[in-house]
Structure 1
């Protein structure tokens, strides 16, 4: 394993809080930059005359790129300075976000938003989580939980800010603003965070593709991991489709302003998800003390119980009922989210947990990446109402995979207690 970098771990508490603050801001922009396109999508469609299928393809391109690169990013994070990886990827995706404001064609959007932004963002999470874990050994869960809250704030606030800027100053200005903020933050990050030193080991000196292949060979022999991955793919499919098209759905169905739609489509759901993560973790931890498969059961229940509310979001006739459905959908999505990593760790060896999670993440995002494009293709014929309602069936399918993993394969695949 890697040695803890002394240049960072021996820094005083004040430094560790500064590190957490800067990484929180970076993760905030990571999520915000990813969501801007969906918020201002109606304006881009009107301004450039792109079809719904083309807009969906642009959104899918980012997730495809992310899914392909994130396992590689995890292995690279074990070989090079994580400070440098984080600083450069923040700078790279922020430049791509800012330049997206100059796009005028589908190909330009795919290259800048899909490939460049998605590629830069893929290298953030593995190194950021590892760096926080090294510097918060006695309060690791707390630090990672605080860092994770940037997801909710990034998605919600980007909906409000990008929607307002798009309506009053043009969709291009939203990309200029968030991209510029990221460039400034990257400069501050390089200035304030010292470079960490990564010590090469036998594991990090072997070819990276060989190591990825070796890990894949190990985990593929555990059907529970396959079931967890398929369930995760179903969840990502629904989540990416929802995040891409929900603001447009509210604009079209209730004639809402872009600012209101951006806020409403994201706030109620992620408020529920925040509460669901906390409650789901408590429930799973309590029952897992005597039955480790309880983590998978909580996830399966989260998808199964969340499915009716996905259907309700699309079919509700009033804004109030839509918001209630969004909130309850978020609650049960949070149940699922709270055990993604913990469930996997029940069935894989500690030696390969990080790389196994990277591979599961990659497969899930590649599955889920097709949702924006498929919904865009179906929109002119079936409409977004039917398209979004059909996502409830994907949640049920994901729940089925998890039930199979929990009750058919788990006893054989679980790791012995350490």
Structure 2
């Protein structure tokens, strides 16, 4: 293999390596929810305390995300990724030794800090390697790893039933530690070019200055608003869709779970890959394709949600929710590429960290208010129809994003 062919292959090798990390990232964070009975049987706790194990992870993860993104902008992205993977894998392994609720709570908080460092650095590294018309597909493959990890969260419950809840954390923790050691020799930052732009990017940045630059950028503010609106809708649907299917169509808990997760996550994985491929192809003719593809996707997602709730037929509702998930995924595969059209390389990881913070914060609020509205006798049909309005507002925010002429050249 020639040096030139190796250089062409390396950007996709990086995506493949990050795919596995993303997969592990979401298995480690979600598998605890699938082994509730095993954990509670070993460490007695209330339902509120068990829910707090996930909540504290999200809170710490969200709060630390902006600073975690800054670390990737300030230091080596690949080293931040390796550090994040090693630490959260070590924490995953440590979790297997927990003997009390408070020890579990501590490990979940530590996992929130360490996992927060990963996604902003990973997506920013992908942008460094994929500067041409491959950005959306590369991002889509990485996002598929995240969604596959969500789908494989059941492995925790399966291993807990066959062995013990500690066993699952031991297996995935040790695997992650070993994988991080292997990646020391494979995962590297993108080569630096010797132009003035790169020299500017290489300058050390400060956290306060990064936030000032980001929030003085009008287009970035619209991206934040867009991401917040989409996060509210996503968390609402993920959190309440099983209940919706169970109550409206009188399904069993198992049937509702299959419809709302099996079909939904499969559609999401296909959606990020198809959306990435379509965007990259169109970007060769239209420099704003990375904005137009998610906009069109959201314009299809809004009526899909509305019809899904209006229909009294299970098949129609299911197909519409699958369509929503498929086209909504176009936003997942294009968020970082869009961010790269308005924010230069010095602040991209910090910018995505802020998005993570906002998405986690408002997503949790959306889940809470969904429950509060149900307590007020407002059914999920109305709540989901309101979500379709939020999707329309998110699409309008996307249209307000104006790419920087200098960054648009990278597409």
Alignment of 1:168-187 (within 5 A): 168-187=162-181
Counterpart in 1 of 2:270?
275
| Partner of residue 70, structure 1 | 65
Query: Is the 1:250–1:261 contact (alpha carbons within 8 Å) kept by the matching residues of 2?
Result: yes
Residue 306 of structure 2 contacts residue 388 of structure 2 at CA under 8 Å; is this kept in 1?
Answer: no
Give the secondary-structure state (helix, strand or coil) at the position aligned to 2:184.
helix
CA offset at residue 92 of structure 1? 0.7
- Partners of 1:197 and 1:342 in 2: how far apart? 19
Q: Which whole-Å deviations, capped at 9, do the CAs of 1:156-201 have from their partners, x for residues lacking one?
A: 2232x22322333343332222222111211222255468899996
Instruction: Name the count of aligned residue pairs.
Output: 393
> Could you report, residue by residue, the CA deviation over 1:112-133 in whole angstroms, capped at 9, with x for unpaired residues?
12x2112111111233334444
User: 1:91: how far off?
Assistant: 1.1
After TM superposition, the score normalised by the length of structure 2 is 0.74
Residue by residue over 1:212-260, the C-alpha shift from the partner in whole angstroms, topping out at 9 and shown as x without a partner, is 23223312xx2x544442332233234345556778999996253xxx9
Alignment of 1:201-240 (within 5 A): 208-219=206-217, 222=218, 225-240=220-235
Superposition deviation, residue 29 in structure 1: 0.2
Deviations 1:115-154 (A, max 9, x none): 2112111111233334444455678435444333212322
Distance in 1 of aligned mates of 2:282 and 2:363: 31
Contact 2:35 2:165 in 1 (8 A): yes
Q: Deviations over 1:16-43 (max 9, x none)?
A: 6654443222121012112212322455
How many angstroms apart in 1 are the aligned matches of 2:188 and 2:333?
A: 32
- For residue 307 of structure 1, what is the aligned residue in structure 2? 305
Hey, what's the Cα distance between the residues in 2 that align with 1:89 and 1:37? 19
Unaligned runs of 5+ in 1: 1-7
Q: Distance in 1 between matches of 2:288 and 2:177?
A: 47
Measured in 2, the distance between the counterparts of 1:378 and 1:255 equals 22
- Whole-Å Cα distance in 2 between the matches of residues 190 and 213 of structure 1? 31
1:70-219 alignment to 2 at 5 Å? 70-103=65-98, 106-113=101-108, 115-135=109-129, 140-141=134-135, 142-159=137-154, 161-193=155-187, 208-219=206-217
* Worse-superposed segment, 40-49 or 73-82: 40-49
Q: 1:387 to 1:276 in 2, by over 3 A?
A: farther
State yes or no: 1:402 paired with 2:394. Answer: yes
Alignment counterpart, residue 297 of structure 1, candidates 288, 295, 313: 295
Q: Distance in 2 between matches of 1:261 and 1:23?
A: 32
Deviation at 1:344, TM superposition (A): 4.7
- Shift in CA distance, 173/378, structure 1 to aligned 2, threshold 3 Å: farther
How far, CA to CA, are the matches of 1:152 and 1:266 in structure 2? 11
Q: Offset of 1:87 from its aligned partner?
A: 1.7
Q: Which runs of 5+ in 2 are unaligned?
A: none
Label 1:9 to 1:215 Cα distance change in 2 as closer, same or farther (>3 A).
Answer: farther
State how far apart, in whole Å, the 2-side matches of 1:217 and 1:246 are: 34
Residue in structure 2 matched with residue 60 of structure 1 by the alignment: 55
Indicate conservation of the 8 Å contact 2:88/2:110, yes or no.
yes
Backbone CA RMSD of aligned residues: 4.6
Q: C-alpha distance in 2, partners of 1:352/1:12?
A: 24
